[in-house]
Amino acid sequence: MPEPRPLPDDLAGRPFDRAALVERRRSKGRATRKDLVHPLHGVHSSVAPTTLLERCRAYAVRMRPGRSFCHATAAQLRGMPLPVRLQQSDPLHVAAVRPASPPRTRGVIGHRLSLPPVVQDLDGLVVCAPSEAWVQLGDELDLDELVEIADHLLTVSPLDPGASAADSIRNAAGRRRRDEVSHSAADSHPLARQVPAANPRYVTE
């Protein structure tokens, strides 16, 4: 079999889908050649992604509008001090908002939210805001871990632009169901103590 035709310059070294090949007058079959890797279903690249950021960029090729990176994935992208067990979590966490269905594909854990989260652009990726990610992790972290991350967000890493620290957490908590652990962690910080009990409106699956 002859050697594969070189990729267009703008696709070399970055993830793409078959539609990108067709747009550049390449056959869809080019995606099946042996010089490419397939980090996710429907995503192809000449270079295998190795970091979390690179894997997120690969998934972003097929990410539908209205979806965002959430939970542990958003927290890691934001540099939050997660426990080792979550840092070693391999699947990407991606959220969709009702009535849309969460993604179901290899290498991805899908979540369905009842209300749209606050999202921000992070190097071209749609990522849940820091306060949103912290609240989303309320069921996966113990009290001490939540307190450590809350302290990091309130004193080291910026929260959501245009809002005070207390407002950021209050707004995120209002989109999540009432959670005793989350609110105990919020109460542990002088600023977070301004946050009232959350509305049981924010539901994840």
Contact 93, 69 (CB under 8 A): yes
44-97 pLDDT, tens digit per residue, is 888 889 999 999 999 999 999 999 999 999 999 999 999 988 887 789 999 999
Give pTM, 2 decimals.
0.76
- Number of residues written out for the chain: 205
Q: Which residue bears the tokens 């009842």?
A: 114
Distance CA 49, CA 51 (A): 6
- 16 DSSP assignment: B
Neighbours of 164 (CB within 10 A): 12
Contact 170, 142 (CB under 8 A): no
Least confident of 7-11, 64-68, 135-139: 7-11
Name the residue ranges covered by the structural domains of the chain.
8-62, 63-194
Instruction: Please give the mean pLDDT across all residues of the chain.
Output: 77
